[in-house]
Structure 1
Amino acid sequence: MSFDFINSHLQARQQSALNRKRYVIEQASAREIIVDNKHYLNFASNDYLGFADEPTVFEGMQSLGSHSSALVTGYQGAQQQLEKYLCAQLGYNNAMLFNSGFSANSSVIKALFQDKAIAQQSAIFQDKLNHASLIDGALHANAALVRFNHNDMNHLRSRLEKSNAKYKLIVSEGVFSMDGDQAPLIELLSLAKAHNAWLMIDDAHGFGVLGKSGLGSCEPLIAADNLPDILVITFGKAVASSGACVLGSSEFIDYMLQFNRDYTYSTAMSPFIALHTLSRIKTIRDASHKRAKLNANIALFKRLANEHKIALMDSTTAIQPLILGCAEQTLKACEQLKQQGIWLTAIRPPTVQHNTSRLRVTLTAAHTEQDITTLVNCLKKAIA
Structure 2
Amino acid sequence: MTDIFAKRLSPVMQTMTGFGPRPLYQAVEARDGEALVEGRRVVMTACNDYLGLSGDPRVAVAAAAAVKRYGTSCSGSRLIGGTLPLHEELERRVAAFLGREAAIVTTTGCQANLALTPLFGRGDVVFSDMANHASLVDAVRAGWADSRRYRHCDMRHLERQLAGAGADAAKVIITDGLFSVEGDLCRLPEIADLARRHGSRLVVDGAHDIGLMGAGGRGVAEHFGLMDAVDLYTGTFSKCFGSIGGFVAGPAEVIHFLRYTSRSVIFTASMPPASVAAALAALEITVAEPERRTRAFEVARQVKSGLGALGFDTGASATPIVPVHIGPTELCGRMWQEVLDEGVFTSVVVTPAVPESQALIRLSLQAVHTDDHINRILDAFAAAGRRLGLIPAAPPAVPSQLAGAVKTPAGAR
Aligned to 1:63: 70
Aligned to 1:111: 118
CA contact 1:304–1:373 (8 Å) conserved in 2 = no
**Structure 1 moving runs of 4+ over 3 Å:** 4-7, 11-21, 57-62
C-alpha separation between the residues in 2 aligned to 1:235 and 1:107?
A: 16
Q: Which of 51, 54, 70 is the matching residue for 2:53?
A: 51
C-alpha separation between the residues in 2 aligned to 1:293 and 1:258?
A: 41
Aligned to 1:244: 246
For residue 104 of structure 2, give the secondary structure of its aligned residue in structure 1.
strand
C-alpha separation between the residues in 1 aligned to 2:89 and 2:129?
A: 33
- Deviations along 1:355-378, whole A, 9 cap, x unmatched? 211000111111122221221222
Aligned to 1:362: 364
For residue 128 of structure 2, give the secondary structure of its aligned residue in structure 1.
strand
CA contact 2:206–2:219 (8 Å) conserved in 1 = yes
Shift of 1:148: 0.6
CA contact 1:32–1:40 (8 Å) conserved in 2 = yes
Q: Which stretch shows the higher mean deviation, 64-73 or 123-132?
A: 64-73
Aligned to 2:193: 190
C-alpha separation between the residues in 2 aligned to 1:298 and 1:13?
A: 29
Structure-2 change in CA distance of 1:12 and 1:213 (3 Å): same
Q: Over aligned residue pairs, what C-alpha RMSD do you find?
A: 2.1
1:10 and 2:18 aligned: no
Shift of 1:18: 6.9
CA contact 2:47–2:364 (8 Å) conserved in 1 = yes
C-alpha separation between the residues in 2 aligned to 1:355 and 1:69?
A: 43
- Deviations along 1:208-232, whole A, 9 cap, x unmatched? 111222222222567x761411101
Aligned to 1:200: 203
Percent identity, aligned pairs only? 26
Aligned to 2:398: none
C-alpha separation between the residues in 2 aligned to 1:264 and 1:14?
A: 34
2:146 maps to a residue whose letter is A
Shift of 1:163: 1.1
- Deviations along 1:331-376, whole A, 9 cap, x unmatched? 0000111111111011111122222110001111111222212212
CA contact 1:148–1:159 (8 Å) conserved in 2 = yes
Aligned to 1:73: 81
Instruction: Summarize the alignment of residues 310-325 of structure 1 with structure 2, pairs less than 5 Å apart.
Output: 310-325=312-327
CA contact 1:90–1:219 (8 Å) conserved in 2 = no
Q: Which of 31, 35, 39 is the matching residue for 1:29?
A: 31
Instruction: Summarize the alignment of residues 77-226 of structure 1 with structure 2, pairs less than 5 Å apart.
Output: 77-108=85-116, 110-113=117-120, 118-119=121-122, 121-164=123-166, 166-220=169-223, 226=228
Shift of 1:106: 2.2
CA contact 2:43–2:344 (8 Å) conserved in 1 = yes
Q: TM-score, structure 1 length as denominator?
A: 0.92
Aligned to 1:229: 231
Query: Unpaired runs of 5+ in structure 2?
Result: 390-413
Shift of 1:11: 6.7
CA contact 2:34–2:42 (8 Å) conserved in 1 = yes
C-alpha separation between the residues in 2 aligned to 1:17 and 1:205?
A: 25
C-alpha separation between the residues in 1 aligned to 2:256 and 2:17?
A: 42
CA contact 2:188–2:224 (8 Å) conserved in 1 = no
Q: Which stretch shows the higher mean deviation, 271-280 or 72-81?
A: 271-280
Instruction: Summarize the alignment of residues 273-352 of structure 1 with structure 2, pairs less than 5 Å apart.
Output: 273-352=275-354
CA contact 2:114–2:264 (8 Å) conserved in 1 = no
Aligned to 2:400: none
Q: Which stretch shows the higher mean deviation, 210-219 or 306-315?
A: 210-219
Shift of 1:266: 1.0
CA contact 2:32–2:368 (8 Å) conserved in 1 = yes
For residue 72 of structure 1, give the secondary structure of its aligned residue in structure 2.
coil
Shift of 1:15: 5.0
1:209 maps to a residue whose letter is L
